Amino acid sequence: MCNLPHFHPKGKLPSPFTIELQEQQRRLLPFTDTQDFEESKRGFIAAPSYRQIMNDKGGVAWNMDNWDFLLKGQDYDSIHPSLQRQAILNMEYGLYEVVPGIYQVRGFDLANISFIKGKTGWIIIDPLTVKETARAALKFVNEVLGERPVVAVIISHSHGDHFGGIRGVVDEEALAAGKIEIIAPDGFMHAAISENLFAGNAMTRRKSYTYADIVPASPYGHVDMAIGKAVASGDVGILPPTRSIVQPIEELVIDGVRMVFQNTPGTEAPAEMNTWFPDFKTFWAAENMVGSLHNVLTLRGAEVRDAARWSRYISEAIYRFADQADVMFASHNWPRWGRERILEVMRDQRDMYAHLNNQVLHLANCGVTINQIHNVYEPPKSLQRVWYARGYHGSYAHNSRAVLQRYLGFWDLNPATLIPLSPEDSAPLYAEMMGGAEKILEKGRELFDQGKYLLAVEILNKLVYAEPQNQTARDLLADVYEQLGYQQESLALRNSFLSGAKELRDGVVPVHAAKAGSADFVRGTSTRMMLDYLAIQMDSRKAEGMQFKINLHTPDNGELFIVEMRNATLTTIGGYQAPDADLTITIDRRELEDVMIGVATLAAKVQAGKARLEGNPQVLAQLASTMVKFDNWFEVLPGTRAKTSEEPKAELFEDDAPVETRP
């Protein structure tokens, strides 16, 4: 039981049904297996005297004390017991030795930051999400192990919690002088920026649910993120690599340290790589193998990942590296020691993704649809008994649907679902046919009192869509979501239910989140990507009847583009100039970046002689009139839109953008 008060005045304690479910899990799961706890503590060197890291604006970037309730030795019925176990494991905080010469700082951010001792300096792997936490980690390592310059940064993949803090560890003068190498997998910059740009506004809003940005840390709220505690808040940056790993297997020597890189594109990220350190007999698994089932489709939104390909790359790593490895460590969670243990984990995780892919397709070929698969698929019983194959970060429920979506798409083959009504349009009919609000509420309370929460959702959700301002209905649906959240082993599912409950009770309340919108991101965005984003930002309904062509020429890098408005659609082609263009803009790319960042206007560049316009400048006003300001905090659940919210921002990259973030 939990003796701490709920963070919300309308919040409820776990119901008898939730308590019984948690007790059942405590009886069934192998809690006598404590090897993870031994491995997570192994190699501990020191922890800093502080547990809070401030950001450069005076706010809190990171605070490990938020989750101190997990260290009280208490079982919380508001947390799935298996999930609570994982959340406790992720409370490790400080500096750890992986092997002599390789170290990790854990508990400073969502990911780990790793340090390899080269001949002259530090080689850093994955410098966290924000500058402030990465800087604090480097400072602490130098204080404990002796100060050394940073000579290289390895970025394992294209998610923000693995590169966003690079400005905290890379000295710009040393980088310009060629004293620091930045090494990343092929396609890193495009993958990192495009994921945070084209659907970034929607992803950020979705992330607010799946990462529980809007729910406070509490036994009744945010407890963990499975691969780490949470995402830090601060300055997110990005720097282009000085060297890209292009070949499937590529060997380098950096500052006397031998490295063998294994490119694994299309696994956990579009651009990702594992690394073998032969002199240390240590294998780096990036985020391809962590202490959990990962996401085949992250619920915050991203392209569906290829579970079969993921499995094959793990298999390759097993047969290429594992028989030599004494240690396996990764960008999240804790290392594994000993060849037998490493092989066990690698093989089980390989089989976890392969089984998910193959059995889902087997069931699909037997007629199971995307709307049934999550209730039919289950992993092998042998994998259910190992902790690192449990569904903490990803869930088998949503991952099974993702595999089916990858191969067959969203349609379940029932014609009724081909062109469904929007829920706000169909809900009034459902409410009417069920006898109106009072009848639905009565049945909803009955189902709630019986612990039949998913059935309660079916009818209460219809009522909330039919009557968005019915606070009684919203509160009852919130109570149902809350119990479902308490029961989930997967953080993505728990956080989404609890976030939905909070917004049903309070409405939409904007919160601060890590922002992938720095000048670094703008400079790293190709001109083509920037123009493609304008086409997304344009509301075509405002462009009916418009027709024009704009030439863009950036002489300093020799780029040429035609931007054409036709059929209320903005298209771009590179490498050409239209002889009949309505307007030609000539501006160096470095000057265009000032406009993109927002520190100057195009008009100011023209006045300063740094840009030239030839033709009809009015087409720019036409184009500007079609642009929409995306709102970070659009309504997700009906009736929850806050009366006052932050003004949406129109500038490129000004929106908060996801950093997984996943992750």
3-state secondary structure of 102: strand
Confidence category of residue 11, pLDDT binned at 50, 70, 90? very high
Q: Model confidence at 226, in pLDDT bands (50, 70, 90)?
A: very high
Name the average pLDDT for the chain: 94
CA nearest neighbour of 47 among 166, 137, 149: 137
User: Cβ distance 126 to 160 under 8 Å?
Assistant: no
Percent of the chain whose pLDDT exceeds 90: 92
Predicted local distance difference test score (pLDDT) of residue 397: 97
Check: CB of residue 30 under 8 Å from CB of residue 385: yes
- The residue behind tokens 């000579």 is 151
Pair type for strands 60-63 and 52-54: antiparallel
pLDDT above 80 (res 420): yes
Quickly count: other Cβ atoms within 10 Å of residue 120's Cβ.
11
Q: Where are the alpha helices (DSSP H) in 146-183?
A: 172-176
Say how far apart CA 496 and CA 242 lie, in whole Å.
39
3-state secondary structure of 112: coil
Burial 6-18 (b: 16+ CB within 10 A, else e): bebeebbebbebb
Question: Average pLDDT in the 138-160 region?
Answer: 98
Q: Are strands 122-125 and 150-154 parallel, antiparallel or unpaired?
A: parallel
**pLDDT tens profile 422-433:** 999 999 999 999
Q: Is the dihedral of CA 106, 107, 108, 110 positive or negative?
A: positive
pLDDT digits (tens, 9 = 90+) for 546-572: 999 999 999 999 999 999 999 999 999
**374: which 2 tokens?**
């999550």
Is the per-residue pLDDT at 276 higher than 90? yes
Distance CA 427, CA 433 (A): 10
pLDDT for position 3: 74
Using pLDDT thresholds of 50, 70 and 90, give the confidence band for residue 512. confident
- Cβ atoms of 461 and 181 within 8 Å: the answer is no
Query: Which tokens sit at 280?
Result: 């240390």
Helix (H) or strand (E) holding 103: strand 102-106
| Structure confidence at residue 513 (pLDDT) | 65
Which parts of 507-601 fold into alpha helices (H)? 519-524, 527-537, 589-597
Backbone angles phi, psi at 122, to 5 degrees: -90, 135
Residues 646 and 609: beta-carbon distance below 8 Å: no
Q: pLDDT category, 289, cuts 50, 70, 90? A: very high
Residue 609's alpha-carbon distances to 116, 141, 167, 343, in angstroms, are 49, 49, 33, 64
Q: d(Cα 378, Cα 356) in Å, to the nearest integer?
A: 8
Q: What is the 3-state secondary structure (H, E, C) of 448-491?
A: HHCCCHHHHHHHHHHHHHHCCCCHHHHHHHHHHHHHHHHHCCCH
Radius of gyration of the chain from Cα atoms?
26
Q: Which helix (H) or strand (E) holds 363?
A: helix 339-365
Q: Which tens digit of pLDDT belongs to each residue from 606-663?
A: 999 999 999 999 999 999 999 998 998 999 999 998 654 444 444 333 333 333 333 4
Exposure string of 501-521, with b = 16+ CB inside 10 Å and e = fewer, is bbbbbebbebeebbbbbbbbb
Segment 228-244, tens digit of pLDDT: 999 999 999 999 999 99
The SS3 of residue 172 is helix
The mean per-residue pLDDT over the stretch 306-324 comes to: 97
d(CA 388, CA 334): 11
pLDDT digits (tens, 9 = 90+) for 45-79: 999 999 999 988 889 999 999 999 999 999 999 99
> How far is 115 from 98, CA to CA, in rounded Å?
10
Helices (H), 131-268: 131-145, 172-176, 188-197, 200-210
- The stretch 580-602 carries a mean pLDDT of 95
Alpha carbons 312 and 51: distance in angstroms, whole number: 40
Among 107-111, 125-129, 512-516, 646-650, which is the least confidently predicted range?
646-650
Q: How confident is the model at residue 421 (pLDDT cuts 50, 70, 90)?
A: very high
Ranges of H-type helices in 30-149: 35-41, 81-89, 131-145
Q: Alpha helix locations (H) across 488-518? A: 491-506
Under 8 Å between Cβ of 267 and 313? yes
- Residue 56: per-residue pLDDT: 86
